[in-house]
Structures are given as structure tokens and as C-alpha cells.
């Protein structure tokens, strides 16, 4: 069973996320105007929380799922089966580009409302490579799933047809013997 959950790739996160999150928080505080008086407290507390957040960040691709863990105050641990992943989308804004970061959004079948991602991964190094790897593994999983269920269906259909053939032979023998 361990082979079913073999880790194929672990995502590495860019340490620039720390600066990005700090500056993003400062900008939000300034824009909201109400946050301006709280800015000194934010600048003291945020670096501590951001470091803990960064230390807890992890994402890994296994043979069957995408696992992700993050959070300090609110710990989030998600496992998304690969066959449920619909799309992986990149997002870059001016601030993200400045830090050389991107956001990878994971959207699943039957997941969140339209336009909302089920999972957001910020600052993965070589995000395009990680995205390609996830999509490739998803395709492998879905191809194997459908091919195995197809062969199972063929086998069960063949078994039913053999039963029908045997029943018809039996009926034919009984009719010929009368």
C-alpha cells in the first residue's frame, strides 16, 4: 500500500514569500485607512507569524493526490485526489512579479463556487514544472482508472454472455430431446 502513496515531487517555496506577505499586509493596511493606526503592531507581530507560516508551508505530489499544508493560527491540511483536479491556473500581479513569485490555483470537480480556487499555492519554485508534473500525473491516474474500469466491465459483460450462451445451449438440448 505504501507504493500507492509514493511521493513523486515535493514543492519548494521561495523565501521571498515572507517579504511579499509583509508588504502585502502593509499595503492592505494603508488602503483600508482603518489599518494605518494598527500598522506598528502589524510590523512587530507579522514577521514572527510569517516566519512560522513559511516554516509550515509544504506541498507534495504523490502517485494519487496533491497534499498541501499551511497556516499558523488556522492550520490547513488538504489532500486533493488527482482525478478530481480540473485545472491548475497561474496568477501573477505586479507585486508578485516584483518578487519573482506566482500563485498556482488548484480547481477541482465539484469544488468551490465558480471562479474560486479550492487551493492556492503561493511562491512555489519552478511552479510551471510543478504544474506540469501534477497535470501529467493526473492524466496517468485518470487514464489508468478508466482503462481498468473498462477492462472490468468487459470481463463482467463476457461472463454474462457466456451464461446466456450456456442457457441457450441447455434450452436447445432440451427442445431437441423431445
**Residue 16, pLDDT score:** 94
Q: Is residue 159, in this structure, part of any structural domain at all?
A: no
**Residue 174, pLDDT score:** 84
Q: Is residue 162, in this structure, part of any structural domain at all?
A: no
Q: Based on the structure, what is the number of domains in the chain?
A: 1
**Residue 143, pLDDT score:** 80
Q: Any idea what the CATH number is for the domain that residue 125 is in?
A: 2.30.29.30
Model pTM above 0.75: no
Q: Is residue 74, in this structure, part of any structural domain at all?
A: yes
Q: Is residue 112, in this structure, part of any structural domain at all?
A: yes
- What is the CB neighbour count within 10 angstroms for residue 101? 21
Q: Is residue 83, in this structure, part of any structural domain at all?
A: yes
Q: Which long-range contacts (CB under 8 A, 24 or more apart) does 128-131 make?
A: 128/90, 130/9, 130/11, 130/59, 130/61, 130/104, 131/88, 131/90, 131/104
Please tell me the distance from the alpha carbon of residue 113 to that of residue 74, in angstroms, as a whole number: 22
Q: Is residue 54, in this structure, part of any structural domain at all?
A: yes
Q: Is residue 166, in this structure, part of any structural domain at all?
A: no
Max CA separation in the chain (angstroms): 102
Q: Is residue 49, in this structure, part of any structural domain at all?
A: yes
**Residue 149, pLDDT score:** 55
Q: Which residues, 6+ apart, have CB-to-CB distance to 100 below 8 Å? A: 14, 16
**Domain encompassing residue 52:** 2-147
Point out the residues of the chain with pLDDT beneath 50: 1-3
Closest by Cα among 48, 59, 58, 61 to 21: 48
Lookup: cell for 31: 488602503
Please tell me the distance from the alpha carbon of residue 14 to that of residue 18, in angstroms, as a whole number: 9
SS3 30: helix
Amino acid at each position: 500500500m505504501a507504493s500507492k502513496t509514493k511521493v513523486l515531487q515535493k514543492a519548494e517555496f521561495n523565501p521571498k514569500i515572507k517579504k511579499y506577505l509583509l508588504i502585502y499586509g502593509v499595503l492592505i493596511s494603508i488602503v483600508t485607512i482603518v489599518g494605518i493606526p494598527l500598522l506598528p503592531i502589524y510590523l512587530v507581530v507579522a514577521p514572527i507569524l510569517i516566519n512560522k507560516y513559511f516554516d509550515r508551508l509544504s506541498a507534495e505530489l504523490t502517485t494519487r493526490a496533491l497534499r498541501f499544508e499551511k497556516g499558523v493560527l488556522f492550520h490547513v491540511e488538504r489532500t486533493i485526489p488527482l482525478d478530481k483536479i480540473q485545472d491548475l491556473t497561474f496568477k501573477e500581479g505586479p507585486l508578485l512579479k516584483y518578487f519573482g513569485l506566482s500563485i498556482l490555483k488548484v480547481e477541482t470537480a465539484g469544488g468551490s463556487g465558480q471562479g474560486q480556487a479550492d487551493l492556492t499555492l503561493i511562491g512555489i519554485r519552478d511552479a510551471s514544472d510543478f504544474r506540469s508534473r501534477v497535470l501529467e500525473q493526473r492524466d496517468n491516474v485518470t487514464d489508468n482508472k478508466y482503462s481498468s474500469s473498462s477492462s472490468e466491465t468487459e470481463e463482467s459483460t463476457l461472463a454474462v454472455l457466456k451464461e446466456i450462451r450456456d442457457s441457450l445451449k441447455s434450452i436447445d438440448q432440451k427442445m431437441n430431446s423431445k
